[in-house]
Amino acid sequence: MSHREITMNSTLKEVYETSIGHDILARILLQLGVPETVLRNPVSGRLKLSGLAKLSKRSSRNSSGRPS
């Protein structure tokens, strides 16, 4: 298996294709109650980690009652 560097510009699909990335993402999805098929979806698989970070910040602000 070749070594791939994971950066904030890596897509979820690229991370999921690595053994450690697969394990980490599978555990996160399990805790959230989300099926792993979400990562195999072509649309969500193209989401970059940087985009995911932005979405999670926006989501956490919305859940705390503060405006986004």
**Do residues 6 and 21 make contact, with C-beta atoms less than 8 angstroms apart?**
yes
For residue 26, give both structure tokens: 């599978």
Structure confidence by residue, pLDDT tens digits, 17-61: 999 999 999 999 999 899 989 888 999 999 999 998 888 776 666
Task: Check residue 63 and give its pLDDT.
Answer: 61
Residue type, 62: N
